[in-house]
Amino acid sequence: MATINDIAKYAGISIATVSRALNKPELVNADTRERVMQAAKKLNYFTNDKARQFNLKTKKLSLGVIIPYITSFYFGELYSGISRVAHENNIDLLLYELKSDNMAREGLTEAFSFAQRHLVDGVILASSHMPSEYDDLIEQLQMPVVLLLDAHESAKLPAFKVDDIRASFDAVAYLVSRGHRRIGMISALQTQRQERGEQLRLRGYKQAVDFYKLPYSHSFVVYGDMRFDDGYSAMKQLLAERDETGLTAVFAASDEMAIGAMRCIHDAGLRVPDDISVIGYDNLSVSNITTPKLTTIEQPFGQIGAEGARHIVKLLTEGEQLPEKGNFYMPYKIIERESVAENSASDK
């Protein structure tokens, strides 16, 4: 292991100054501190913990925020939550937008290299299912990582999110409580990675179908890629099979699909909620200005961002023994608006 001597030599600074910089950093000027720090890092003088404590005394902390698709509807709210906590703690945020949603290894490698190039102290990784095969990248990063909105496959990292299965179960339970039994679902497309939040929603629906012993056949579920148009065409399919299924309500895995479904119902000459009730998932700001206004599941994106940020700040500043892994489930709620009605059909 490197000694203070090595650092002094490497940095071209006297041993006494290096010692002072390491032990009483507040007594030496910022440039010297920085040079000592860089040398110490370079020579692996520090353990990570020591380096972090040194950082805390001498410089402003930074967090990297890595997120795919900042154009997604939840980005603003999620980032605002993170930002609020960062601001309270006098921490800089450096945002990095992942170029792909599928979390290719290359994209993640570039993102981590950005984080290292800009000397961040920890990383918040949002909305990216993290398969175990990337665990080596996380390890090489050598700094705390927190996940938001999605879980870590091997559950080695703390993840802040809503329990999609339970929330979806409750969406169906809500429809049941309003007298509906013939309930369709517009689900996310199912891919190999069945653990992604969107895909878990189908599992919640099916659990509720079992639990309440609701009528069910394959015609009750159609699939779409989460957007307005997908919801529209999915609903068309559901309407085409309605003679058989007798649907009175639909649960859509996203608000966009729910709004597309409502438009499809409208275009077919039927009314929401009088003929068919619709419940969505997301509580987009849009869902409050559609006609009728959409009843939906709200995920607390701001809170998810804030709690995730608070967790990593604690890891960095207090060195607390926090649980470093597992899912932290945040509270969701059902926002009741105008798109679900009491079912008065005969077979309820």
Q: Give residues in contact with a copy of itself (CB under 8 A).
A: 11-13, 31, 34-35, 38, 42, 60, 62, 70-72, 75-77, 79-80, 83, 87, 92-95, 97, 99, 114, 117-118, 228, 256, 259-260, 263, 266, 286, 288-291
Cβ 69 to a copy of itself, closest distance in Å?
A: 8
Least distance in Å: CB of 45 to a copy of itself? Answer: 14
Which CB atom, from 119 or from 334, has the smaller least distance to a copy of itself? 119
Amino acid 173 reads A
Per DSSP, the residues of 54-86 read HHHHHS--EEEEEEE-TTSTTHHHHHHHHHHHH
| CB of residue 70 to a copy of itself, shortest distance in Å | 5
Q: How far is the CB of 266 from a copy of itself (least distance, A)?
A: 6
Residue 19: count other Cβ atoms within 10 Å of its Cβ: 14
Closer residue to a copy of itself, CB minimum distance, 97 or 342:
97
Amino acid 122 reads: G
DSSP characters for 197-215?
A: HHHHHHHHHHHHHHHTT--
Is 42 or 325 the residue whose CB approaches a copy of itself more closely? 42
Q: Please give the Cα distance from 157 to 144 (Å, whole number).
A: 9
Read off the DSSP letter of residue 268.
Answer: T
Which pair of structure tokens corresponds to residue 227? 């957007």
Q: 64 near 124, Cβ under 8 Å?
A: yes
- Closer by beta carbon to a copy of itself, 130 or else 264: 264
CB closer to a copy of itself, 6 vs 195: 6
The least distance separating a copy of itself from the CB of residue 256, rounded to whole angstroms, comes to 8
Give which of 283, 304, 284, 285 is closest to 84, Cα–Cα.
Answer: 304
Phi, psi (rounded to 5 degrees) for 249: -155, 155
As measured in angstroms, the least distance from the Cβ of 86 to a copy of itself is: 10
Largest CA distance in the chain: 89
- Give CA separation, 81 vs 5, 74, 250, 307, 312, in Å: 45, 11, 32, 8, 13
| Residue among 183 and 186 whose Cβ is closer to a copy of itself | 186
CB of 202 to a copy of itself, least distance (A): 23
**Contact in structure between 88 and 316 (CB atoms under 8 Å):** no
Q: Which two tokens stand for residue 272?
A: 């929401």
Nearer of residues 57 and 118 to a copy of itself, judged by Cβ = 118
